Amino acid sequence: MPARRDHRRAIPGVDRLLARPWCRRLAESRGREWVTSRLRAVLDDVRAGRVALPASEEGYEDLLRRGIAAAETPSLQPAVNATGVILHTNLGRAPLAAEAREAMARASGYGNLEFDLETGGRGSRYVHCTELVRELTGAEAALVVNNCAGAVALALTAFASGRGVAVSHGELVEIGGGFRIPEVVEAAGARLVTVGTTNRTRLADYARAVEAGEVGAILKVHRSNFSMSGFTEDAGLDELVALGAGAGVPVIHDLGSGLLADSAELGLPKEPTPAMSVAAGADLVAFSGDKLLGGPQAGILAGTRSGVAGAKAHPLCRALRCDKVTLAGLEATLALYRDPRRAMERIPVLRMIKAPVEELEGRARAVVERVAEMRVARGEAPLAADVSRGRSVVGGGTFPDARLPTAVIEIDAGDAAERWMAALRAHDPPVIARSRKGRVILDLRTIAVEEEGAVLSALASVGGTGGGAG
């Protein structure tokens, strides 16, 4: 006990430390109140024994500086995606094209978001991007909201609130992040009218529900994140459109991923596109801005004039509107699709899907060689690193069965794999890898050429004095 009292007596007071020149300078640059509160937190930690009692005043300075640095690190940080999952939802889905990034920076100030530059009068934010969506999908009209989940919820609320929504049993899907079709229908104030069975749903099943008269909308949902095979049957979207048109019931297609590029050219299985849904006559098709489209988070509704007008007129539309920065990024991304070849080159998601394995292998070998040189130069132990073949996935709940042959850097880390992964995450910028059976795996497919420097410096220091993993 006496020892503990001595320990506390040795801790300087806030005022004494605040009067020191180093502390005064910190207070001047960051605000006195905030620095005082950080300093109090440091002293609390010392008193409670959460950190060792500093031997000198410099020790307090060091603790305060570290506390300030930790507090000043932005919560949202850029990271290198070395996982090989292209649309990695936890890492922010689609990395944006340079054109989109520039447009977003330009749009950050004042702009003509809801201002008509010709008349000087009030404009509408809903005009932005619509011309491009119409061009690229062939739709009569379009509306951009916050995300695809919001687009589907808005369409259902506008057209089926207080009524039934006919959905195939085989399409009552969960997308992830809490998006489950039955719950979305319920949240839209509509009643779920399930038709058909899990594996087989025919047009006649929908027709019975429509004839019963309580259906306000027919919803078709793309099975984007799983596949069904065997004894299966589905009603085609065009058949549903004909049924709906005859009964005055709108057809909404929840497509999820908004692939605007040619899946064959990407080497991927055939995937329905927004243009196909529009051509089939869907009143509204909903798709994401940040899945295969490769843009910022957004939800796009494309369809008939009356379909889009109905969605736009609903008060929920206001709650789901997206901001100017998103619209600018989406517009710049969509504009790249006017020239399909340019889109393939400029949109990172498409470029990554298309990258040939030979090219990735060459890059992987160059990284491994360069890391070896850097480690030798620094006096670090060499890495037990190899280049081998692996498989990347598209991710983001799309192309669940597609595997893209890729080249990976594999590091034999023995039982230190988890520590290695942690050291890579602690690097600035963080490098997010995978591990399997004591091997740390970095997939070149999702690492941009501009990010190779960061991967190099992370691998050059990890496991040694710099990385703290060995």
Ligand X SMILES: *Cc1c(COP(=O)(O)O)cnc(C)c1O
Applying CB under 6 A, which residues contact ligand X? Answer: 147-149, 152, 175, 179, 221-222, 224, 254, 256-257, 288, 299, 397
DSSP string of 248-259? T--EEEEEES--
Q: Residue 155 or 460: which CB sits closer to ligand X?
A: 155
Q: Residue 169 or 370: which CB sits closer to ligand X?
A: 169
Nearest Cα residue to 276 out of 331, 220, 233, 317: 220
Q: Residue 222 or 363: which CB sits closer to ligand X?
A: 222
Shortest distance (Å) from residue 154 CB to ligand X = 11
Shortest distance (Å) from residue 69 CB to ligand X = 34
Shortest distance (Å) from residue 317 CB to ligand X = 16
Across-strand partners of 287?
Answer: 256, 300
CB environment 381-392: b (16+ within 10 A), e (fewer): eebebebeebeb
Shortest distance (Å) from residue 243 CB to ligand X = 21
Longest dimension (CA), the chain: 90
Shortest distance (Å) from residue 94 CB to ligand X = 11
Q: Residue 37 or 198: which CB sits closer to ligand X?
A: 198
Find the distance separating the first CA and the last CA of the chain, reported in whole Å.
39
Q: Residue 164 or 396: which CB sits closer to ligand X?
A: 396
CA dihedral 61, 64, 70, 72 (to 10 degrees): -100
In angstroms, the CA 273 to CA 34 distance is 52
In angstroms, the CA 26 to CA 172 distance is 57
Q: Residue 220 or 445: which CB sits closer to ligand X?
A: 220
Helix (H, G, I), strand (E, B) or coil at 263: coil
Shortest distance (Å) from residue 289 CB to ligand X = 7
Shortest distance (Å) from residue 224 CB to ligand X = 3
Shortest distance (Å) from residue 329 CB to ligand X = 14
Q: Residue 175 or 344: which CB sits closer to ligand X?
A: 175
Q: Residue 175 or 347: which CB sits closer to ligand X?
A: 175
Q: Residue 164 or 256: which CB sits closer to ligand X?
A: 256
Asked if 238 contacts 281 with a C-beta cutoff of 8 angstroms, the reply is: yes
Shortest distance (Å) from residue 320 CB to ligand X = 11
Q: Residue 176 or 356: which CB sits closer to ligand X?
A: 176
In angstroms, the CA 466 to CA 32 distance is 34
In angstroms, the CA 180 to CA 72 distance is 38
Shortest distance (Å) from residue 9 CB to ligand X = 57
Sheet holding 299-303, edge to edge: 141-145, 299-303, 284-288, 251-256, 215-221, 164-168, 191-195
Residue 431: phi and psi, rounded to 5, are: -115, 120
In angstroms, the CA 284 to CA 219 distance is 10
Residue 258: phi and psi, rounded to 5, are: -100, 70
| Residue 256 structure tokens | 């999820």
Across-strand partners of 391?
Answer: 405
Shortest distance (Å) from residue 171 CB to ligand X = 9
Other residues' Cβ atoms within 10 Å of the Cβ of residue 181: 22
Q: Which stretch of DSSP H or E encloses residue 443? A: strand 439-443
- The amino acid present at 280, given as its one-letter code, is A
Q: Which residue is nearest to ligand X (CB)?
A: 256
Asked if 267 contacts 296 with a C-beta cutoff of 8 angstroms, the reply is: no
Q: Residue 152 or 252: which CB sits closer to ligand X?
A: 152
